[in-house]
Chains A and B, each alone.
Chain A
C-alpha cells in the first residue's frame, strides 16, 4: 500500500504549509496579500454584480391582481408621504433656525464612504444560513468594526463586524446575532436591541407589554450604539405578538432595503 505519509515529499508539503503560516503571522506575506486583494478587487466586483444580476430575485408578486393592489396602496402612501414631506421641510427649516439660534451641532454630522460588495460569505461559513457581505474597503480606508452600513437610499442594512487592511465583513440586519440599538417612532418612543431572524426579517424581543406599538410604525437607529448615529431608518413594524399571559411582546420588523440585490453600499464614518 503506497502511503504518501512515508515519502519525503509529504514532509516537504507540510513544511511549506508551516512556512506559509509563519510568514503570514509575522507579516512577511502581507504586501503580497494586500496586492492580491487590491488587484483582484475589480474582478471580484464584476463577478459579484454578474451573479447578483443573474440571480436577481425579480418580482415579489404571484399575480397581476396582487401587483395592482400593491400599486394602489403605494400610490396612496406616496400621496401621504408627499404631504408629510412638505410639512417636514417646513419643520426642518424652522428647526435649523432654532438650532442656529441655540448654537447646536447638527445630529447628522457624519460622512459616508462608498464601498463595493465583492462577495457574500456563504460556502466558507457553512454553519449558518446567513449571507454576510464582504466589502472592498478596509482599515486602510477607515473602515473599522462597529460602523453602520447603509444602502443608496440611506436605509441601514448592517454593520461592520470584522475588517482587514483592504476588505471588511459586514453582517446584515436580518442575520441572527447582528444587533443594532433601535427605537420605534411610536407614541412611547420604544427603545430596544434588534436581532436578525433567519436571514429574512428583524425582530425586537423583550419589549414590555405596556409599550404601545402598532403595525406600520417606523423603526430607526437609536444612536445608543457606539458608532451608529441616530435616525437611520431600519424598517417598518409588520407584526406585533402581544399575549396577555406574557411579560414581553415580540415585534417583527421588515427591512425597507432590498438586501439581497445590493452591489454598492456606504459605510458611515462618524
Chain B
C-alpha cells in the first residue's frame, strides 16, 4: 500500500512538472513551436517502460492539471488524455505488439490525432457560452496546428526511442523478422 501511495505521489509531481513545462515554457514559444505536445509524447513513451496502471494514472493527473491551469472547459483535457491513453493501449496490446520504432511512430500519430480531436470535441461540447465561432474541423488552422504537432512529436519520438533503446535491450528500432 505504501509503495502505491509513494508511486502515485511521484507520478503526480512528475505530471505537475510536465504540465508546467507545457503550459508555461512550450506554450510561450512563438508559432509553430508551441504545437509540440510534450505531455502526449511522454504518455506514449511511458507505455514502453511502465505498467499500464501507472500510465493511466499519469494520463489522468496530466489531464486534470491541464484543466486546472488552462481556461478551456473543465474536463476536456482529462477526458481526452484518458481516451487517448486507452486507444494507444488497446492498439499496442492487440495490433502493434512488436515494440518496434515503426509501431511507436504509428502509435504517436494515432495518439496525437485522437488527443487533439477528442480535446476540441469535448471543448466544443462543454463550452456552453457559445464562444466557438465555427466547428473546429472546418477551421484550417486546426489542421495546420495538428500537422505541426505530428511533425514535432514524431521527431522527438524517434530521438527518444533511440535513447531508450540504448538503455533498454527489450526494444528494437526495426520490425522483428519471422525467420
Contact = CB atoms under 8 A, between A and B. Distances in A.
Nearest to A46: B24
B34 A127 contact: no
Interface stretch (A12-20, A78-86, A91-99, A201-209): A12-20
Q: Say which size band chain B's interface belongs to.
A: 35 or more
A24 B33 CA distance: 32
Contacts of B66: 124
Contact of A123 (B35, B75, B94): B35
Q: Say which size band chain A's interface belongs to.
A: 35 or more
> What is the interface of chain A mostly: helix, strand, loop, or mixed?
helix
Of residues B34, B35, B53, B146, which shows the largest number of chain A Cβ atoms within 10 Å of its Cβ? B34
18 contacts: A3-B90, A13-B56, A33-B68, A36-B65, A43-B24, A44-B24, A45-B24, A52-B28, A55-B29, A119-B28, A121-B70, A122-B31, A123-B22, A123-B26, A123-B34, A128-B141, A129-B141, A177-B133
Interface string B25-61: 1111111011101000000000000000100100010
A48 B24 contact: yes
Interface of B: 16, 20-31, 33-35, 37, 53, 56, 60, 64-66, 68-72, 74-75, 77-79, 82, 86, 89-90, 93-94, 116, 119-120, 132-133, 136, 139, 141-142, 145-146, 149
A2 interface: yes
A21 B75 contact: yes
A124 B72 contact: yes
A186 interface: no
Interface in A143-174: 162, 164, 167, 169
Contacts of B79: 17
A160 to B, nearest CB: 11
A123 B20 CA distance: 13
A139 interface: no
B29 A51 contact: yes
A118 B90 contact: no
Interface of A: 1-4, 9-10, 13, 16-17, 20-21, 24-25, 33, 36-37, 40, 43-48, 50-52, 54-55, 57, 117-129, 132, 134, 162, 164, 167, 169, 177, 260
Of residues A1, A47, A54, which shows the largest number of chain B Cβ atoms within 10 Å of its Cβ? A47
Contact of A13 (B22, B26, B37, B82): B82
B25 A40 contact: no
Contacts of A123: 22, 26-27, 34-35, 37, 145, 149
A256 to B, nearest CB: 20
Contact of A127 (B22, B70, B75, B120): B120
B24 to A, nearest CB: 4
Nearest to B68: A33
Which A-B residue pairs are the 10 nearest by beta carbons? Answer: A47-B24, A51-B28, A122-B34, A47-B25, A44-B24, A124-B70, A169-B71, A126-B145, A48-B24, A122-B27
